[in-house]
Amino acid sequence: MTIGAGRTVVVLVHQTDGGGFCGWLSFAARIAAVPGQVAVAVDLCGYGQAVCPQGSTAVGRQVEQVRLAIDEAVRRFHPRRVVLVGASMGGSLAVLTAARDHRLDAVVDLSGPDG
């Protein structure tokens, strides 16, 4: 899901509450209400509305899904800045993605697991 238009893209990665990206809808709307910002909410395989092949919920595959969302956001919006925000499991995925993807300008880990 994408909301807004602008030169800063904020990619939102959800937690494991079963709602997928829907938990980000109110936050995405607030982000997109700021001029120059776009919110992209990722719906990971196995959560929310995403229908994916078996094995898609492995951490390595989830990191790849986040990277694909970043790829699409960069392709569509040509942003100057890319910010990745994740909650709980999504926070851990944000940190793991940031270790592999140097296009990110900022990473926010909201209550990711210890370790």
- Residue-wise pLDDT for 42-96, tens only, equals 888 776 666 666 665 677 888 999 999 999 999 999 999 999 999 888 999 999 9
pLDDT at 99: 94
Q: Tell me the domain boundaries of the chain.
A: 2-110
β partners of residue 8: 37, 81
Residue 8 scores a pLDDT above 90: yes
pLDDT at 20: 59
3-state secondary structure at position 72: helix
pLDDT at 93: 93
Residue 114 scores a pLDDT above 80: no
Query: Which tops the pLDDT comparison, 31 or 48?
Result: 31
At 55, the amino acid letter reads G
Burial of 80 (0-12, 13-18, 19+ CB in 10 A): exposed
CA angle 110, 111, 114 (to 5 degrees): 130
Distances (CA, A) of 3 to 23, 34, 62, 69: 14, 11, 22, 14
Which CATH superfamily hosts domain 2-110? Answer: Alpha/Beta hydrolase fold, catalytic domain (3.40.50.1820)
| Residue 79, token pair as written in the block | 């942003």
| Residue 33, token pair as written in the block | 């209400």
Query: Which tops the pLDDT comparison, 15 or 57?
Result: 15
Count other Cβ atoms within 10 Å, centred on residue 42. Answer: 27
Q: Compute the distance between CA of residue 93 and CA of residue 60 in angstroms, rounded to an integer.
A: 9
